[in-house]
Amino acid sequence: MPAEMMNTKEVAKYLNVNDKQVYALIREGGIPATRATGKWIFPKKLIDEWIETTARDGLSQARQKSAAVSGALLAAGSNDPILDIVQTTLRRMHPDLYIFSANTGSTEGLAALNMGYTDIAWSHLWDPESGQYNTPFLSSHLPRIDAVVVNLFHRDIGLIFAADNHLNIRNIEDLRQPGIRFVNRQEGSGTRLLIDYHLKKSGISTDGIIGYENEVFTHLEVGLAILSGQADVGMATGSVSRMLGLSFLPVTKEQFDMILDKKIYFEKGVQGFIDTIRSDAFRKGVEKLGHYDFRESGKILYSKN
């Protein structure tokens, strides 16, 4: 079957669902499919468009719901384990404030912000040419937004693997060792772009990596895939390795930012979130995880005027 077309099993794997769920989507008319020689086939291009449309519709519905909650903001973009802790601390410090967040990856988070689907984008997109995070992407990804970039934290990110390192993983180049199973992040995420950069820099073809196509949406899922034996290695934050008792090989320290339209920067929800991430209550809650640097937390890194 051509690469542009998928059968039922292939589309189920592509969507990370089981075959029965695919047939249910067909019955509901919720997925692009056609029947040929008695079998269902799925054009990959249309499936990709359907995934994007579904994700954006979901964000749009979430935005409508959040608008009905006083003091609520909607965020989308990158993922970090301590964002949940920030949310919990925010609710304790400011019971009237809410931030609803979706894990879409940095690139899609910026796209959602630009289209007006969200108030905030979480992002850690790195530009190898300038060596800067996020700001080089503002003109291309946020042409409709008068963007403000606020730092949340810097974090260690690298390869995580079994605590005993029985596969003797020492660097990125070891990913091409025969038999090593990789767990990847979704396309468009900042972590995926970082992985691909280092693979290219090391001259490693993605075709030779077992599990490169095995995608998950969060750092915790990467760690759990390794902990459960479904994979041997992946790229995630150092905090995930600490939480799950896995080994960690640092690759870089990233800048993780909050990006928003200038017109909502002074809104109560945004300022409450910044106050929360600067608070002692939050810092004490994450200090044992390590691998975070809050020296610029809450600092405006970019504003046009």
Q: Determine contact, residues 257/206, Cβ cutoff 8 Å.
A: no
Statement: residue 9 has pLDDT above 60 = yes
When pLDDT is averaged across residues 74-100 and rounded to a whole number, the result is 89
Report helix, strand or coil for 40. strand
Which residues make up the CATH 3.40.190.10 domain(s) of the chain? 63-151+255-303, 158-253
Task: Return the CATH fold of 63-151+255-303.
Answer: D-Maltodextrin-Binding Protein; domain 2 (3.40.190)
Which residues make up the CATH 1.10.10 domain(s) of the chain? 1-62
34-36 and 300-303 strand pairing = unpaired
72-77 and 120-123 strand pairing = parallel
**Model confidence pLDDT, tens digit, residues 200-217:** 999 999 988 999 999 999
Confidence band of 137 (pLDDT split at 50, 70, 90): very high
The burial class, CB within 10 Å (0-12 / 13-18 / 19+), for 42 is buried
Statement: residue 97 has pLDDT above 90 = no
| CATH class entry, domain 1-62 | mainly alpha
This prediction's pTM = 0.77
The structure tokens listed for 56 are 């954006």
Statement: residue 66 has pLDDT above 50 = no
pLDDT-above-90 percentage for the chain = 60
Statement: residue 188 has pLDDT above 60 = yes
- Please report where in the chains the tokens 């396309």 appear, as a residue: 187
When pLDDT is averaged across residues 36-40 and rounded to a whole number, the result is 74
Statement: residue 41 has pLDDT above 60 = yes
- Model pLDDT, residue 71: 60
Task: Return the CATH fold of 158-253.
Answer: D-Maltodextrin-Binding Protein; domain 2 (3.40.190)
- Model pLDDT, residue 2: 42
